Chains A and B, each alone.
Chain A
């Protein structure tokens, strides 16, 4: 019974490159959430997706960031043209339903932009 799997665990990108972060939800979960945690700060909601749909992207930066959760395969958080300020831990969570949010989190991807 695997939990939420995120990969890679650590990712180093040079400024201007693209970063792709993957999240495989728990089996049977169709709701995925992405959060960002800057160093020494709290977790900030970014986006909430269901299969093939973006439900709430109120926390996503307007430019360079996008997310998808296709019918098959993991959810992807994509950051284009990364800048040093994108360096953070990105956490993914999944749940089986809206409302009762017993969400399970992955161990995160630590993105470092050099």
Chain B
């Protein structure tokens, strides 16, 4: 599976958009980009995934660059409950979690 690189942490103000970057320069053609998050010590929660096109669901939007070497997860209106560790994963089969990015949403 391709490796991903994420900043260790970031913060944003409640109500503002949170843009979480991820680099995956060695991604191969059949690998998807997945985003999961882990709130405190709960089980990871699926957010969104994509292959080539940008994707949007009720939780977030995923923007994948045309060369697929990087992506951005967008939480349009962050709330305090979005404070969590966010994992960007590139894979075709099993999910391999890195260290993720800790998002802190401040009031």
- Of A11-19, A67-75, A79-87, A96-104, the one touching chain B: A96-104
Interface of B: prevailing SS? loop
Which residue of the partner chain, among B42, B95, B100, contacts A45 with CB atoms under 8 Å?
Answer: B95
Q: Are A105 and B92 in contact (CB under 8 A)?
A: no
CB of B66, distance to nearest CB on chain A (Å): 22
Residues of B within 8 A of A (CB-CB), count: 21
- In the complex, the number of residue pairs spanning A and B with C-beta atoms less than 8 Å apart equals 56
Chain B positions within 8 Å of A, measured between CB atoms, are 30, 32, 34, 38, 41-46, 49, 91-100
CB of B23, distance to nearest CB on chain A (Å): 18
Q: Are B93 and A105 in contact (CB under 8 A)?
A: no
Nearest to B99 among chain A residues (CB) is: A42
